[in-house]
């Protein structure tokens, strides 16, 4: 799914976790970080017409969508956060929610289902695929994104924080304040 949908899903999970600010940020990062293996798209686009194109996106995308990377991310999160067991569980859940979302709704325009090599780099066997996977731009993804937005607003009003705190706590305070103000005047 798109990075925005992954971020909203991770933000909603963080909202339900009732972890502190640092824990919630860890849960959100865990929900988007598998896609840093997609950053290879930049050099690939720039070099695609050259004599030696760098196929970093084609070759490495989804190579961090693995159990090993999930464990590394969880260990790093636990080192920086309190409530270690709860943080570990939510970070692991957030990472795997990302994998699940890619599994169900990330079919590429060329029909490629982007199998998830869960046990890489040890083996490329047992990669995750699902024959019912819908396209990246399918209506299902728009519907899920819409539902996640509603959940984001609801949790922001209830908890007093939202996914915006990943970028700035001050911007998040303003966002939550505006939402609550609108609700009160409605
Ligand atoms: Zn992904």
User: Can you give the residue ranges of every domain in the chain?
Assistant: 3-185
CA of 62 to the centre of ligand 1 (A): 6
Average pLDDT, 10 consecutive residues per value, the chain (186 residues): 95 97 98 89 84 80 92 97 96 98 90 88 93 93 97 97 97 97 86
CA of 20 to the centre of ligand 1 (A): 26
CA of 179 to the centre of ligand 1 (A): 30
CA of 169 to the centre of ligand 1 (A): 26
> Are 15 and 162 spatial neighbours (Cβ–Cβ below 8 Å)?
yes
CA of 37 to the centre of ligand 1 (A): 8
pLDDT for residue 23:
98
pLDDT for residue 52:
86
> Are 31 and 98 spatial neighbours (Cβ–Cβ below 8 Å)?
yes
| Bridge partners, residue 135, by sequence | 107
CA of 184 to the centre of ligand 1 (A): 38
d(CA 156, CA 180): 9
Which ranges constitute the DSSP H helices of the chain?
3-17, 21-32, 41-47, 56-60, 67-80, 84-105, 139-159, 169-185
d(CA 46, CA 55): 10
- Coil/strand/helix, residue 26: helix
pLDDT for residue 185:
85
CA of 34 to the centre of ligand 1 (A): 6
| Bridge partners, residue 116, by sequence | 128
Q: Which two tokens stand for residue 103?
A: 């599994």
CA of 83 to the centre of ligand 1 (A): 27
d(CA 160, CA 89): 23
CA of 114 to the centre of ligand 1 (A): 9
The closest of 32, 39, 38, 24 to 5, measured between CA atoms, is 32
pLDDT for residue 63:
87
CA of 180 to the centre of ligand 1 (A): 33
CA of 95 to the centre of ligand 1 (A): 9
pLDDT for residue 183:
87
d(CA 151, CA 156): 8
């Amino acid at each position: 799914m798109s990075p925005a949908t992954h971020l909203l899903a991770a933000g909603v999970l963080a909202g339900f976790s009732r972890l502190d600010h640092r824990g919630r940020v860890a849960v959100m990062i865990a929900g988007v970080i598998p896609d840093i293996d997609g950053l290879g798209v930049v050099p690939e686009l720039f070099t695609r017409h050259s004599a030696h194109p760098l196929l970093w996106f084609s070759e490495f995308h989804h190579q961090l969508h693995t159990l090993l990377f999930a464990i590394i991310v969880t260990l790093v999160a636990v080192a920086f956060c309190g409530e270690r067991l709860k943080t570990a569980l939510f970070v692991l859940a957030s990472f795997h929610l990302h994998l699940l979302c890619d599994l169900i709704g990330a079919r590429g325009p060329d029909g490629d289902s982007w199998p998830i090599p869960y046990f890489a780099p040890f083996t490329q066997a047992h990669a995750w695929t699902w024959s019912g996977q819908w396209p990246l731009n399918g209506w299902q993804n728009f519907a899920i994104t819409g539902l996640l937005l509603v959940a984001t607003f609801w949790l922001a009003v209830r908890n007093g924080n939202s996914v915006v705190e990943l970028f700035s706590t001050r911007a998040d305070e303003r966002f939550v304040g505006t939402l609550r103000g609108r609700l009160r005047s409605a």
